[in-house]
Amino acid sequence: MRKLLIGAVVSTLALLFATPAQAATIRPVTGFGSNPGALQMFEYVPDGLPSGRPAVVVLHGCTQDAAVYARGSGWVGLADKLRFKLVLPQQVSANNFNKCFNWFQAGDIKRGSGEAESIAQMARFSAGSRTYVTGLSAGGAMTSVMLAAYPDLFSGGGVVAGLPYACATSMIDAYSCMNPGKDLTPKQWGDKVRAASTGSRSPVSVWHGTADYTVAPMNLRELSEQWTDVGAAVDTHAVTGMGHGQPIAPGSGCGQAGPYLLDVGVCAAAELAAKWRLGEDGVQ
């Protein structure tokens, strides 16, 4: 685990966000599949984007919507600069009153069913040369779901303030996972992923604030143990003093501060984009 220092990323962020935003808009998409989880789909495609560019599935947290999180986290600015598309699933209150993805419901976390299958259909519909998945809080927990159930779809994932796959099987159980958290052995965590699907596992980045009292910081360790046990390359990022939310750096052009979008001078989205080399494939 490494502690992030603000000064180490400022110059990188300045370069990443130097280009002004393009004229593209976040737009709704229909007809992407059978949508068994009854989710909404939005997409952000920078103007003039060449075919075959990478795609990132971005999963919002509770009480948020797709557009607020995509812009506030910095992903829209990065898509403009580095030339890739965003796939933006959105929860609806009919599924969950607080608009949380249902990462704790058995019918929504299995391959081929519920919300997980809806998100997979969106990813397939907008597939790029490489597709990644990331999300915050409930969206981070759903990122774990997608990596566990659909390893064939994703080249990597970023879990921000999230939870291990199959940590809970009910809403009541979900609160125990969030805080104080569950301490299982690496094999116990890994067995849950192996039961979800087979196949090689892509790299996973795990981000968490050390002062997160909503989703206990111990979940960073449990996530690391789960994915390491199934053979994924894992890197962890403990953001010192940060509460529950997405690390952003508006002063360097990354994101817009708001509820669960925390200005800590560190941009998780930019670091993920760099790790995933989203500016490559011949386009800078």
Reported as a single tens digit per residue, the pLDDT across 230-274 is 999 999 999 999 999 999 999 999 999 999 999 999 999 999 999
Q: If you average pLDDT over residues 121-136, what whole number do you get? A: 96
pLDDT of the residue at 160: 98
Q: Which residues are registered as beta bridge partners of 44?
A: 26, 86
Considering only the top CATH level, what class is 27-276? alpha beta
Distance, in Å, from the CA atom of 76 to the CA atom of 47, rounded to the nearest integer, reads 12
Catalytic residue positions? 137
CB 49 within 8 A of CB 83: yes
Residue with tokens 């979008």: 261
Residue 50 has pLDDT above 90, yes or no: yes
- Asked if residue 36 has pLDDT above 50, the reply is yes
Mean pLDDT of the chain: 92
Average pLDDT over residues 164-178: 95
Q: Does residue 9 carry a pLDDT above 90?
A: no
Residue scoring higher pLDDT (23 or 65): 65
How many Cβ atoms from other residues are within 10 Å of residue 197's Cβ?
Answer: 16
Q: Is the pLDDT of residue 52 over 60?
A: yes
Give mean pLDDT, residues 16-30.
70
Read off the tokens for 259.
């509820």
| Interval 22-47 mean pLDDT | 94
Q: What percent of the chain has pLDDT over 70?
A: 90
For residue 121, pLDDT beyond 80? yes
Compute the distance between CA of residue 189 and CA of residue 165 in angstroms, rounded to an integer.
Answer: 8
Q: Give residue 7's pLDDT band: very low, low, confident or very high (50, 70, 90).
A: very low
Whole-prediction pTM: 0.91
pLDDT band at 23 (very low <50, low <70, confident <90, very high): low
pLDDT at 102 over 90: yes
Contact 100, 59 (CB under 8 A): no
Helices (H) and strands (E) in the chain, counts: 9, 11
Average pLDDT of the segment spanning 108-128: 97
Residue 281 has pLDDT above 90, yes or no: no
Strand partners, 238: 3, 208
Residue 195 pLDDT exceeds 70: yes
pLDDT at 282 over 60: no
10: pLDDT strictly greater than 60: no
pLDDT reading at 4 higher than 60: no
pLDDT of 11 above 90: no
Distance CA 161, CA 178 (A): 10
284 versus 18: the higher-pLDDT residue is: 18
